[in-house]
Amino acid sequence: MHAFDYQRPSALSDAAAALASDPEAKLLAGGQTLLPTLKQRLAQPTALVDLSRIPGLVGITAIPEGVSIGAMTRHAQVASSSVVRAVLPALADLAGEIGDAAVRNRGTIGGSLANDDPTADYPSAVLALNATVVTDRREIPAGAYFRGLFETALAEGEIITRVDFPKVERAGYAKFRNPASRYAMAGVFVAKTAAEVRVAVTGASQSGVFLWEEAGDVLTSDFSPAAVESLALDPSDLMSDLHGSAEYRAQLVKVMCKRAVAKALG
Ligand SMILES: Cc1cc2nc3c(=O)[nH]c(=O)nc-3n(C[C@H](O)[C@H](O)[C@H](O)COP(=O)(O)OP(=O)(O)OC[C@H]3O[C@@H](n4cnc5c(N)ncnc54)[C@H](O)[C@@H]3O)c2cc1C
């Protein structure tokens, strides 16, 4: 690990100022992705700006539209939250399936979304639910947030402060996990509102999370696992690696989609 300064500001404005004054500084949330990267010397920030002492970044609040989750809220807190269980149980289920207990007790929703790993779980919920990523500068709708492999709409030095999730009629998440890393090889989040069904897929594409629009259309007219049966996801944009071919992932996505719908139907 290279040497770096460590700062633990107690105000969001101080964290923003620290990033603005040093373009090589990086935010530290749960450290589950960042610290291994530093240990492997894949990143060499001059300073780490720890968000853990900034008030207001941790917490889960019921809001009229749904539920608001602070950026520094740990996965384990989302998984065990009675508020999330009441408003969006599928989101609590998703958080409970992330990594292992150690990862869930340190990793944060803000860190996960800022990192935007193509196999991470939260991006599928954010996209399917059409959630809003709120930063210290603006509100970013899910559709504009994800930009591809490890790429988001976040500008240099922009800090996620919370994520607002709207309520939906029904939602479900199903994931086929990589047995070694526990990241998704295919994770499908299905969200049904009165107007439409949105199906977001993580883990399968090298371009990151995406909406499977064909499945959304079919499920909008018939919200049942059987409705997905006749669909075939085009494997040409999917990942092929030692864990599975693109064709295998396309099949996994379909199976996970059916399971997610079944879970949403309870
Ligand atoms: C063994 C293992 C298994 C895992 N399995 C899974 C899995 O199954 N599913 C899954 O989804 N994830 C998995 N993860 C990742 C985990 O969910 C982490 O929570 C996530 O990668 C990063 O969150 P963090 O809070 O640790 O962020 P950090 O590692 O602290 O930061 C990650 C990046 O985000 C930036 N950042 C952090 N917070 C903010 C913010 N508020 N605003 C702007 N930028 C910010 C940091 O500067 C850094 O670049 C796994 C990790 C490990 C180590």
Q: Which of 4, 22, 32 to probe ligand 1 with, by most ligand atoms within 8 A of CB? A: 32
Strand pairing category for 151-152 and 160-166 = unpaired
Residue 81 to residue 95: CA distance in whole angstroms: 10
Question: Between the CA of residue 194 and those of 138, 167, 169, 198, 223, what are the distances in Å?
Answer: 28, 11, 7, 11, 12
Q: φ, ψ for residue 229 (rounded to 5)?
A: -50, -40
- Atom 37 (ligand 1) nearest CA: 111
* Residue 79 Cβ < 6 Å to ligand 1: no
Residue 79 to residue 17: CA distance in whole angstroms: 33
Of 108, 57, 55, 61, nearest in space to 82 by CA: 61
Positive or negative, the Cα torsion across 243, 245, 246, 248?
A: negative
- Atom 2 (ligand 1) nearest CA: 99
Domains of the chain, CATH where assigned: 5-50 (3.30.43.10), 60-166 (3.30.465.10), 170-265 (3.30.390.50)
Of 132, 120, 137, nearest in space to 19 by CA: 137
Question: Could you identify the atom of ligand 1 that is nearest to the CA of residue 110?
Answer: 41
- Atom 19 (ligand 1) nearest CA: 107
pLDDT in tens, the chain (266 residues): 789 999 999 999 999 999 999 999 999 999 999 999 999 999 999 999 999 999 999 999 999 999 999 999 999 999 999 999 999 999 999 999 999 999 999 999 999 999 999 999 999 999 999 999 999 999 999 999 999 999 999 999 999 999 999 999 999 999 999 988 899 999 999 999 999 999 999 999 999 999 999 999 999 999 999 999 999 999 999 999 999 999 999 999 999 999 999 999 99
Question: Could you identify the atom of ligand 1 that is nearest to the CA of residue 43?
Answer: 49
